Chains A and B, each alone.
Chain A
Amino acid sequence: MKELRLMKGNEALAEAAIRAGADAYFGYPITPQSEIIEYLMRENPVERTGMIVLQAESEVAAINMVYGAAGCGKRAMTSSSSPGMSLKQEGISYIAGAELPCVLVNVVRGGPGLGTIQPSQSDYFQAVKGGGHGDYKLIVLAPATVQESVDYVKLAFELAFKYRNPIMILSDGIIGQMMEKVELFEQQPRLTEAPEWATVGKKPGRDSVIVTSLQLQSEEQEKVNLRLQAKYREIEKNEVRYETHLCEDAEYLFAAFGSCARITRKAMEMAREKGIKVGLIRPQTLYPFPVDAINKLAGQVKGILTVEMNAGQMVEDVRLAVNGKTKVEHFGRFGGMIPSPDEILNALEQKIIGG
């Protein structure tokens, strides 16, 4: 039976990791996501499911522990917030290059640098465009509710193993800290058999398995890249997820993700009360991006306003998707400031309707 609870986003996400049958969590505390490791330590899932929870000595250590566990075919996860996620980028690039599955959670706070502990979405580029080196992609899931924080953990492990690719859950300080009603899925079994690509010791009669992101022969490394690109095209075909609100009769469109989409929905309700026909598209996957859906809506509306807690990042992907069909503007607050519904409505009126 499904269970209904009132939970903080971070805690719900941690519980979801246990229930998704994760084998291991490695992390290092940082506000505003420390509740994830705190919850896991308190819950001590080794007694419930055998899942290992370890506080590493640093973020760099944690991501490399994930690399090791993933290489053994285990369901491994790490989480951090922006500055900590920057430290993990080298490891993430290696894991993507070695084509291993893992789940990464970034509960974003304001930057750059140590920045602030308040909510932000300024790591969109880092998550979507590849924060580490090389031509790699993460599948990026952007939860807007505590419920999605739970559901996306399960989905992330499924996608990670389906594509042998790291998956990022891009949360933020609002989603991580807020409490909402949440329905928890049933406990999933942990993996019992190692996949054939896992390095778990060579048995007689089986070829060696090598996990590496290093190919000194350029011809070989190009083949790796071509294989990765083919995989990304497959992901772009299969895994686009988004939600629309009141788009049927919309003359204008908001585009927003994560917690900002929630605030924008409030602005949309206020606009509708004033008789402004505005809809909302909320990408649930930031990569792959809902290019076709946005392009189609661009043919219908007089203008699109992206609302983000950053200085204008997703707006670039929206502009690429729109491809000149209609006007696209950006409204953002940043450095840990949260836009208010009033400000968003005002920006729509100034930049799109009046502009």
Chain B
Amino acid sequence: MTEEIIIAGFGGQGVLSMGQILCYSGVMQEKEVSWMPSYGPEMRGGTANCTAIISDKDISSPVLNAFDTAIVLNQPSMDKFEDAVKPGGLLIYEENGMTRKPRRTDINICAIPAYDESIKMNNTKVFNMIVIGGFLKVKPILELENVIKGLKKVLPERYHNLIPLNEQAIRRGMEIIRTEHSLAK
């Protein structure tokens, strides 16, 4: 198993920490992992992205131009990375603020209304965990218990009281993700 993921959105949406959480969770599951952020001017406004790779094997390149999964959280990110999904791969997009639907027909496409859901949960900070939940529903490459362990590593101890809320968000994400286009017959 090798899963090459790009996560992209506005700075502040938790894009970089989503990648870190997935990688920490991968470590908990004894996988090889690699996380590479964009650290340029895009971090100071505009789109931020990170590449997360989780694999059973040694990881060669930490930077890629084609991905198994693209998780895009705003329109500029969809414009930039829709074409970077490998044929047969997966595109997950957050519906809020998107001005168009994805155009590809040779990939699996899922939509997740994570922002709206986070408002329903009265905590927009768990937005990115809802998205992670959605991703893990479609690609169950990591056990939930390992994601929780990973969260404990990423979050400073003073925030560990928020882990149950994050777990709830992951579970909500798993419930609300919706397939829009599937290659499976």
Contacts and interface: CB of A to CB of B under 8 A. Distances in A.
Nearest to A245: B60
B3 interface: no
A180 B61 contact: no
Interface stretch (B34-42, B68-76, B94-102, B109-117): B34-42
Contacts of B66: 342
A341 B62 contact: no
Nearest to B37: A177
B39 A263 contact: no
A6 B153 CA distance: 9
B166 interface: no
Contacts of B23: 6, 179
A174 B62 contact: yes
Contacts of A129: none
A320 interface: no
B20 A262 contact: no
B36 A174 contact: yes
A269 interface: yes
Interface string B22-52: 0110010000111111011000000000000
Nearest to B65: A340
Contact of B39 (A4, A32, A180): A32
Given A118-B40, A178-B37, A262-B62, 12 more contacts: A4-B27, A174-B62, A177-B36, A177-B39, A180-B35, A180-B62, A181-B27, A181-B33, A259-B62, A263-B63, A266-B64, A268-B60
30 contacts: A4-B27, A6-B24, A6-B33, A6-B153, A31-B39, A32-B39, A173-B39, A174-B36, A174-B63, A177-B37, A178-B34, A178-B35, A178-B36, A179-B34, A180-B34, A180-B62, A181-B27, A259-B62, A259-B63, A262-B61, A263-B60, A263-B63, A265-B60, A265-B61, A266-B60, A266-B64, A268-B60, A269-B60, A341-B61, A342-B66
A6 B39 contact: no
B80 to A, nearest CB: 15
A269 B64 CA distance: 13
A342 B36 contact: no
Interface residues of A, number: 25
Contacts of B24: 6
A98 interface: no
Closest 5 CB pairs of A and B: A266-B61, A265-B60, A340-B65, A179-B35, A263-B61
A60 interface: no
A352 interface: no
A338 B63 contact: yes
A282 to B, nearest CB: 11
Interface residues of B, number: 21
Contacts of B36: 174, 177-179
Contacts of B63: 174, 259, 263, 338, 340
A348 to B, nearest CB: 15
Contact of B65 (A6, A259, A342): A342
A262 B39 contact: no
B133 to A, nearest CB: 21
Contacts of A341: 61, 64-65
A117 interface: yes
Given A6-B33, A31-B39, A179 B61 contact: no
B60 to A, nearest CB: 4
B100 to A, nearest CB: 26
A117 B39 CA distance: 8
Nearest to A280: B60
A260 B27 CA distance: 24
B62 A178 contact: yes
Contacts of A180: 33-35, 59, 62
B155 to A, nearest CB: 14
B33 to A, nearest CB: 6
Interface string A245-278: 0000000000000010011011011000000000
Contacts of B59: 180
B37 A117 contact: no
A1 B153 CA distance: 20
A116 B40 CA distance: 9
A269 B4 CA distance: 15
Contacts of A116: 40
Interface string B148-168: 000001000000000000000
Contacts of B65: 340-342
Contacts of B37: 177-178
A178 B63 CA distance: 10
A6 B24 CA distance: 7
Kindly name the residue among A118, A173, A177 whose own CB sees the greatest number of chain B CB atoms within 10 A.
Answer: A177
A3 to B, nearest CB: 12
A243 to B, nearest CB: 12
